[in-house]
């Protein structure tokens, strides 16, 4: 689909594992509309190498996301049973035991395709069904979605490149600062720093003082 920033986040219903072990049906991000910001991120595959480092890194910062009223949700093209099995494996054995935020099962690949992060060679047949010629997994996509359900930030990394969780938090802070103050965030802005007014005068004032 390409760039989703400024557009409504694609809606879906899918199975997910929540609270570290409970499988639920028809999980949807729509339940957070009007209530919470959402950081929705994709990872390539269960039982791999870079992926658990990212999942644990997000878990370590879960309290900081929650303190900001942000829901953290992960997704891969594995089944909910695979998610559940990986959650039973201890961290020191390469597992993700202890992860509490939802893990969505994009088994039919439609969520990854809708968000533009599906890796692999694929096309559609005459009936409109997706046909793959190789393994199809998700790139490391991350989407910051506001309370109205609109995508405000997206980041897509290639498979070997892990993400920076602190940068995800910084983008949450920047969005919430803009929403609360109406000011924009200059380069390298972090929480606690000044913003700037979206005008030539505002830019000039900011540059003069920084």
Task: Return the pLDDT at 78.
Answer: 97
DSSP 56: H
Q: How many CA atoms lie within 13 A of 146 on its CB side?
A: 18
Residue 194 CA to its chain's centroid (Å): 27
Task: Calculate Rg over the CA atoms of the chain.
Answer: 18
Catalytic residue list contains 51: yes
Task: Return the pLDDT at 208.
Answer: 65
- Identify the bridge partners of residue 105 per DSSP, sorted by sequence position: 76
Tokens of 138: 């998700």
Catalytic member of 29, 38, 51, 175:
51
Element (H, E) at 155: strand 151-157
Domains and CATH numbers, the chain: 14-163 (3.40.30.10)
pLDDT by residue for the chain (210 residues), tens only, comes to: 589 999 999 999 999 999 999 999 999 999 999 999 999 999 999 999 999 999 999 999 999 999 999 999 999 999 999 999 999 999 999 999 999 999 999 999 999 999 999 998 767 778 877 677 667 899 999 999 999 999 999 999 999 999 999 999 999 999 999 999 999 988 999 999 988 887 656 555 656 677
Task: Return the pLDDT at 103.
Answer: 98
Task: Return the pLDDT at 199.
Answer: 66
Contacts of 71 (CB under 8 A, 6+ apart): 32, 36, 37, 38, 39, 65, 101
Paired sense of beta strands 130-132 and 122-124, if any = antiparallel
Please tell me the distance from the alpha carbon of residue 102 to that of residue 16, in angstroms, as a whole number. 6
Task: Return the pLDDT at 203.
Answer: 55
């Amino acid at each position: 689909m390409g760039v989703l920033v400024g557009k409504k986040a694609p809606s879906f219903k899918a199975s997910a594992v929540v609270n570290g072990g409970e499988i639920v049906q028809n999980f949807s991000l729509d339940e957070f509309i009007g209530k919470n910001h959402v950081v929705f991120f994709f990872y390539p595959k269960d039982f791999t190498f870079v992926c658990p480092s990212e999942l644990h890194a997000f878990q370590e910062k879960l309290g900081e996301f929650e303190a900001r009223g942000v829901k953290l949700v992960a997704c891969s093209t594995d089944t909910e049973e695979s998610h559940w099995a990986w959650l039973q494996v201890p961290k020191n054995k390469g597992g993700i035991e202890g992860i509490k935020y939802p893990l969505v099962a994009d088994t039919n690949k439609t969520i990854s395709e809708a968000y533009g992060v599906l890796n692999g060679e694929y096309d559609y047949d005459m009936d409109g069904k997706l046909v793959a010629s190789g393994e199809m997994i998700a790139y490391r996509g991350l989407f910051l979605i506001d309370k109205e359900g609109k995508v405000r930030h997206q980041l897509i990394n290639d498979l070997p490149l892990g993400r920076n969780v602190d940068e995800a938090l910084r983008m949450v802070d920047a969005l919430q600062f803009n929403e609360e103050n109406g000011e924009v965030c200059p380069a390298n802005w972090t929480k606690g720093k000044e913003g700037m007014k979206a005008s030539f005068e505002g830019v000039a004032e900011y540059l003069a003082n920084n």
